[in-house]
Every structure is written in structure tokens, then in C-alpha cells.
Amino acid sequence: METMYYEVVNIDGDYANLRRTDIESSDLKLVARAMLPAEISEGSKLKYEMLQYELI
């Protein structure tokens, strides 16, 4: 599986908008907070690998 890197752009209730940082992209990905580490905040950096998000 491919490893992808994201930044948390904003948090809106039970969802967070993520922007991919390892490639040039302005698209946002809407992800349920239940799928993300509990301690994230806006600006947090995440690694997505093996169907899991990890705070870096």
C-alpha cells in the first residue's frame, strides 16, 4: 500500500478536512474524526498507511 501524508486544514464537528502534502494538490479530503487520532488539531500532520492515520 502507498503511504500518504496529510495536514489537517480544519475540524468541523465529527469531520476533518485534510490536504495532501506529499503531492501538489489543493483538493481536500473529508474524513470522519472517528478514523483519526483523537489528539489532532488544525495544522496537525498525519501519515496514512495500511488504512490507518497516524499523527507525526
* Secondary structure in 3-state letters for the chain: CCCEEEEEEEEECCEEEEEECCCCCCCEEEEEHHHCCCCCCCCCEEEEECCEEEEC
pLDDT confidence of residue 47: 98
List, for residues 5-26, the tens digit of each pLDDT value.
999 999 999 999 999 999 998 8
Phi, psi of 35 (to 5 degrees): -85, -10
How far is residue 17's CA from residue 27's CA, in Å, rounded to a whole number? Answer: 10
pTM of the model: 0.91
How far is residue 39's CA from residue 55's CA, in Å, rounded to a whole number? Answer: 8
